[in-house]
Amino acid sequence: MNDVNDVNDVNDITDQENESYPINEFQLTTTPNDFNISTIISFISSKVFKIPAFQRHYVWDIKRASKLIESLLIGLPIPQIFLYESDKNEFLVIDGQQRLMTLYYFFNGRFPRKEKRSELRAIFDDHGHIPDDIMQDDDYFQRFNLKLDGLVDGQANRFNGKNYKTLGDSQMALNLATIRNMIIKPVANDDEEDGAMFEIFNRLNSGGMNLTPQEIRMSLYHSRFNVSLIKLNEDEVWRKTILGKDIVDMRLNDVEAILRTLAMVNSRENYKTTISGFLNMFSNATKSFSQEDTDFFKELWYGFMLACDGLKVEDFRTGANRLSITLFESVFYAACRSSVEQRVVNITTITSEYLALLKTDQIFIEASTGKTTRRESVLTRTDRARELLQEFTNVA
């Protein structure tokens, strides 16, 4: 079976195909705008610029951040920022998060402590900014005084040790410095354009490591449902009993597994030929989910975790030392599909004996090996898992 690989192998978790969207078939417009720094800060603070949910955390150290500020102060060009116009006065940051957050922190005079950045990211996502009481809390931040080493013309760098308030005359120069922003917008707003934008997110990021498919989905299809997946990923049964990993994957590999599982139990009939396309379609649909919808899937997830509480970590594995995603999603579908149909969470206990039966069932095995992402294979293994669970429950 295709299993969940270690966190460094981000594709195998959902049997991803190497596919891309034919961008040349879509109509897009790209418009350059030179915004000054004051305008950019106001756009971040007023949520016009949105740092897409759960892109990777702020990772720069204070020396690298200081170099960016120094470059603006002395007039050096800054790499352009790419934005996606998702709505009127709403722009998602495709590429440039580290630069924008550096500016935001410097203008507030605070630099985030490394051990608090994950928590700060969650706070930023909840509020769209960092609240003043958090920004001034020394447990979260230190003072952002520029740290610039080296001599200039035999003298110490004149900006070393300065912060925004102590820049003097240079403060106005910084406020008026400009950065080129490339705004990408689809000519038409439809599902196919979302496909094109997914591919653009995949190409237009230059931080040294391309975004993973799930990082792109979190940005492009931002919704309260997708945000909730991060919290579901922290469940103790999921992490210790099923995944067997205490450390959350920073590239969202484990979050993608949750998305795939919930997508399958809710929208399996819409599955066509590829996991990636299926997850993109479902993620896009979650943008219209109500709070009630999101709460239901939270309850469903936690209900299933409770039903699995007596299992051992090897129960969802099939020979490899990692979770079998095909097995897990099939069992989740079998146990939870009736709850989705009735919109009432009622999940039978999942036992080691049932899982052992399923793992040795020839029909299930054939649908869980080889080309596991074919529609026929997906339907067969999920249906078979449901049939055997009903039979096992009746016998028990």
> What digits encode the pLDDT tens for the residues 93-116?
888 889 999 999 999 999 999 989
Question: Within 13 Å of residue 167, how many CA atoms lie on the same side as its CB?
Answer: 21
Please state the rounded mean pLDDT for residues 159-171.
Answer: 94
> Encoding tokens for residue 395?
């016998």
Give 260's pLDDT tier (boundaries 50, 70, 90): very high
The pLDDT assigned to 11 comes to 40
> Encoding tokens for residue 52?
């897409």
What percent of the chain has pLDDT above 90? 58
> What digits encode the pLDDT tens for the residues 218-232?
867 878 899 899 999
Determine which of 72-76, 248-252, 299-303, 356-360 has the lowest per-residue pLDDT on average.
248-252
The pLDDT assigned to 141 comes to 96
Nearest to 372 by CA among 317, 329, 326: 326
The pLDDT assigned to 10 comes to 35
The pLDDT assigned to 58 comes to 83
The pLDDT assigned to 201 comes to 65
Residues 6 or more apart from 271 whose CB is under 8 A from it? 264, 278, 375, 378, 379
Question: Which residue type occupies 294?
Answer: T
| Backbone dihedral angles phi then psi of residue 221, each to the nearest 5 degrees | -115, 45
pLDDT over threshold 90, residue 334: yes
The pLDDT assigned to 22 comes to 45
Burial class for 358, CB neighbours closer than 10 Å (0-12, 13-18, 19+): buried
pLDDT over threshold 90, residue 21: no
- For residue 111, the Cα-to-chain-centroid distance in whole angstroms is 24
Residue 83 near residue 93, CB atoms below 8 Å? yes
What percent of the chain has pLDDT above 70? 84
Beta strand segments in 17-89, E = 28-36, 49-50, 81-87
Strand partners, 151: 156
Please state the rounded mean pLDDT for residues 287-308.
Answer: 97
Question: Which residue type occupies 334?
Answer: A
Of 13 and 47, the one with more pLDDT? 47
pLDDT over threshold 70, residue 348: yes
Please state the rounded mean pLDDT for residues 304-320.
Answer: 93
Residue the block writes with tokens 């935001």 = 104
The pLDDT assigned to 292 comes to 97
> Encoding tokens for residue 141?
């931040």
Give the end-to-end CA distance of the chain in Å, rounded to a whole number.
Answer: 28
Helical (H) or strand (E) element with 178: strand 178-186
C-alpha angle 58-61-67 in degrees, rounded to nearest 5: 110
The pLDDT assigned to 29 comes to 82
Report the C-alpha gap between 82 and 390 in whole angstroms: 51
The 10 Å CB-count burial string (b at 16+, else e) for 277-290 is bbbbbbbbbbeebe
Nearest to 287 by CA among 228, 229, 225: 225
Give 180's pLDDT tier (boundaries 50, 70, 90): very high
> What digits encode the pLDDT tens for the residues 195-210?
556 666 666 654 445 6
pLDDT over threshold 70, residue 245: yes
The pLDDT assigned to 170 comes to 95
Give 164's pLDDT tier (boundaries 50, 70, 90): very high
pLDDT over threshold 70, residue 371: yes
pLDDT over threshold 70, residue 154: no
Residue the block writes with tokens 């150290």 = 61
Determine which of 51-60, 152-161, 239-248 has the lowest per-residue pLDDT on average.
51-60
**Mean pLDDT of the chain, nearest integer:** 85
Residues 6 or more apart from 228 whose CB is under 8 A from it? 294, 297, 298
